[in-house]
Structure 1
């Protein structure tokens, strides 16, 4: 299915680029030398065209935001510069608009952090529905020495259905947006999915002393059905880990 749909990213890349999105020719900061220095981070977008799906026949978008936005790329805490970036969720790539108006793909590396609209993304291993490990982008909601709290964005493709008769309604091909949440422990390779955000699932998924977690929940009046409260819990657990190490 992904191969069939791969043409969509090519079809809608360029019509969405407007002059307003290409201020400073795509590279927001840094000299030409700076751009050349880090150009090896990018690789040309793949163009494996199979079956064209006209944009007019599609519901939804493969992107987190369809326009390129000002973002920054960091490696090991050092800024590599500011660029116009958009996250293609369906194809799992960060697309970069270069100074010559060419769309390129950021090479995937766990050492890179991408910041878009105050949101941080990083590549981590992911066990896909086919039980294969691939490198994908996770949004980092909270991180620390003990555990990280992650969000995974999805775009699920559903083929359309033509109306069989005049009494039936035609259904367009659709990209359905969805998200899921994960914990990632520093001593584990794969993030662990949280099936549903609630106290029981989170306690079981964390695999940390239950009394410690319950104590933090009660003391801070946390509702673990709320993402912001899960963030607070993970921050507290990471703070306690640092305190214990100092002690």
Structure 2
């Protein structure tokens, strides 16, 4: 019962603008009080500075539209909402409706929260991951394949490249640009950290225990696996979960 009391939307989303602040305050009046609201708000990610006000090619969003989703706290459903993923800031924007005049909020960066995209049946949640530079970060990972031993994820990201002005008429100007790219990660059952998947066979094999590397290498060779292809990665992890 207490879990249900602690799950109102006001405790889990951060609203911007005076209208949103007023709505949040009104809902907080119903809070029974045990410190959860303060902890939730302190865990939220602040909006990052984005060059989105510049004239650019491309978008910070994976999809400009707000699409329907379900939000869960652990296994308990909070409700139905609409979301879009700002992959430049790695921030999930969320609304109660699709109407443009309603202010969006930012999904709280709490790892127990997960979101299921109802259009594509994609699930995303905040995870700790170690990137290709071996730096540990927190970010939104999309679940691609789930198994008893390994889960496979992908991460949508956006990079900003500043444009250039021509120094003379012989040089073509280049615009500011947002470029989308995808990286893949896996998490072993029981781990709390997702690991980067290298695109080279040698990098991929080093991510696993020595005793499994030969069988994985043989499977990759026999099945003519291309580690740069998502469908082939899924085949490999289906195999890993079967042995």
Asked if Structure 1 and Structure 2 have the same fold, meaning a TM-score greater than 0.5 normalized by the shorter chain, the answer is yes
Given that residues 64 and 88 in structure 1 are in contact (C-alpha distance below 8 angstroms), is that contact kept between their aligned partners in structure 2? Answer: yes
Counterpart of 2:70 (choices 45, 69, 72) is 72
Counterpart of 2:57 (choices 56, 59, 63) is 59
Counterpart of 1:210 (choices 213, 224, 239) is 213
1:81 positional shift: 1.7
Any stretches of 5+ residues in structure 1 without a counterpart? 1-33, 241-247
Deviations 1:112-135 (A, max 9, x none): 221222111111113468875432
Residues of 1 paired with 2:89 and 2:143: CA distance? 19
Task: Please list, as runs of the form range in 1=range in 2, the aligned pairs for 1:164-183 lying within 5 A after superposition.
Answer: 164-183=167-186
Any stretches of 5+ residues in structure 2 without a counterpart? 17-45
1:144 equivalenced with 2:142 (yes/no): no
Q: Give the aligned partner of residue 95 of structure 1.
A: 93
Structure 1 segments of 4+ aligned residues over 4 angstroms from their partners:
45-52, 127-132, 214-219
Residues of 2 paired with 1:115 and 1:184: CA distance? 19
Q: Give the aligned partner of residue 9 of structure 2.
A: 38
Task: Please list, as runs of the form range in 1=range in 2, the aligned pairs for 1:152-171 lying within 5 A after superposition.
Answer: 152-171=155-174
Given that residues 108 and 135 in structure 1 are in contact (C-alpha distance below 8 angstroms), is that contact kept between their aligned partners in structure 2? Answer: no
Residues of 2 paired with 1:129 and 1:204: CA distance? 13
1:201 positional shift: 3.5
Tell me the secondary structure at the aligned position of residue 160 of structure 2.
strand
Residues of 1 paired with 2:107 and 2:59: CA distance? 20
Tell me the secondary structure at the aligned position of residue 72 of structure 2.
strand
CA root-mean-square deviation: 3.0
Tell me: CA distance 1:165–1:155, structure 2 relative to 1, closer, same or farther (3 Å): same
Paired residues in the alignment total 202
Q: Give the aligned partner of residue 110 of structure 2.
A: 109
Deviations 1:154-208 (A, max 9, x none): 111111112222332222111111111122223444322122154x443332325
Deviations 1:4-48 (A, max 9, x none): xxxxxxxxxxxxxxxxxxxxxxxxxxxxxx9x9223211135567
Residues of 1 paired with 2:241 and 2:50: CA distance? 47
1:119 equivalenced with 2:122 (yes/no): yes
